[in-house]
């Protein structure tokens, strides 16, 4: 990969969607919009009637208590589960995401908490696992190594000493960075992360939050699940709160503070938040 021009997976959209007013009425202006999404597992209603808008180039934090339905919701976006009811819109057009491959092809990359990296392989091998570059029927190691170096540089990941290091020797934050880099390698326009900082220390958390800001500054939408409100208020542009399987409030972060966020997480209501941001099921 050449260092110039800017790689396509990081290019900002010039005609990004307009700012959302919280009413949830305009799916066409959003990168991703969910309307009335429900998911049952037999008699268990995991999520119900979720309306959520995710704009390009913004960080949306998805918060809520254990079992609120956050992971199930992102799995319906990333093709793990098909919703039992509801509609998903991508750039205003309705889509049907049947498999993870469908999501990847659209430009939706998901980084799960268990990361699925191979400890016994180095960073380059992990980045290209299953999609290796070849030249004259041989692995093109030089191309893959240069591309990996360039990608980590583009993402401002500076703490990795060598891309030939085994993943087993990386810190939690560095592993998270490799997983994100792997996810955005293919023209991703939306990166979904399920609790990316849950197992990390202070400085590693800082690195991952920086990486999230780098993605959004390049025009990529980020949807991140977090239980850490400090992280949420440090990195997010928007908040979406789930409570008992429903999305109880969502909108620009300026409308929330940690007290209202805690109230919404624990009770599903807060008098401190404008009623326009309360999503109706």
Identify residues 28-67 at the interface with ligand ATP (CB under 6 A).
41, 44, 46, 64, 66-67
Q: Considering beta carbons, is residue 60 or 126 the nearer one to ligand ATP?
A: 60
Q: Considering beta carbons, is residue 50 or 211 the nearer one to ligand ATP?
A: 50
- Decide if residue 243 touches ligand ATP (CB under 6 A): no
Q: Considering beta carbons, is residue 50 or 209 the nearer one to ligand ATP?
A: 50
Shortest distance (Å) from residue 248 CB to ligand ATP = 13
* One residue of 29, 38, 51, 71 binding ligand ATP per CB under 6 A: 71
- Decide if residue 79 touches ligand ATP (CB under 6 A): no
Shortest distance (Å) from residue 194 CB to Mg ion = 6
Q: Which stretch binds ligand ATP (CB under 6 A): 69-77, 91-99, 171-179, 202-210?
A: 69-77
- Say how many residues touch Mg ion, by CB under 5 A: 1
- Decide if residue 71 touches Mg ion (CB under 5 A): yes
3-state SS of the chain is: CCCCCCCHHHCCCCCCCCCCCCCCCCHHHCCEEEEEEEEEECCEEEEEEEEEEECCCCEEEEEECCCCCHHHHHHHHCCCCCCCEEEEEECCEEECCCCHHHHHHHCEEEECCCCCCCCCCEHHHHHCCCCCCEECCEECHHHHHHHHHHHHHHCCCCCCCCCCCEHHHCCHHHHHHHHHHHHHCCCCCEEEEECCCCCCCHHHHHHHHHHHHHHHHCCCEEEEECCCHHHHHHHCCEEEEEECCEEEEEEEHHHCCHHHHHHHHHHCCCCCCCHHHCCCC
Q: Which stretch binds Mg ion (CB under 5 A): 27-35, 51-59, 69-77, 166-174?
A: 69-77
Shortest distance (Å) from residue 218 CB to Mg ion = 27
Q: Which residues bind ligand ATP (CB under 6 A)?
A: 41, 44, 46, 64, 66-72
| Residues near Mg ion (CB under 5 A) | 71
């Amino acid at each position: 990969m050449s260092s110039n021009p800017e790689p396509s997976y990081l290019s900002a959209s010039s005609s990004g969607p307009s700012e959302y007013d919280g009413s949830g009425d305009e799916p066409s202006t959003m990168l991703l919009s969910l309307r009335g999404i429900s998911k049952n597992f037999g008699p268990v209603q995991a999520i119900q009637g979720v309306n959520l808008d995710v704009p390009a180039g913004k960080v949306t934090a998805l918060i809520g208590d254990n079992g609120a339905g956050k992971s199930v919701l992102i799995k319906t976006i990333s093709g793990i589960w098909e919703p039992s009811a509801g509609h998903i819109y991508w750039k205003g057009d309705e889509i049907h995401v049947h498999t993870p491959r469908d999501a990847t092809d659209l430009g939706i990359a998901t980084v799960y908490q268990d990361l699925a990296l191979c400890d016994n392989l180095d960073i380059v091998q992990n980045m290209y696992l299953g999609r290796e570059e070849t030249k004259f029927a041989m692995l093109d190691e030089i191309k893959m190594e240069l591309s990996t170096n360039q990608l980590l540089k583009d993402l401002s990941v500076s703490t990795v000493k060598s891309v030939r290091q085994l993943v087993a020797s990386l810190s939690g934050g560095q592993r998270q960075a490799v997983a994100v880099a792997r996810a955005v390698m293919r023209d991703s326009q939306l990166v979904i992360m399920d609790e990316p900082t849950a197992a990390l220390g202070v400085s590693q958390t800082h690195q991952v939050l920086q990486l999230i800001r780098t993605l959004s500054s390049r025009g990529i939408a980020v949807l991140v699940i977090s239980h850490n409100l400090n992280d949420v208020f440090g990195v997010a542009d928007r908040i979406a709160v789930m409570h008992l399987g429903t999305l109880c409030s969502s909108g620009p972060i300026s409308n929330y503070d940690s007290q209202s966020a805690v109230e919404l997480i624990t009770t599903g209501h807060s008098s401190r938040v404008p009623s326009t941001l309360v999503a109706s099921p």
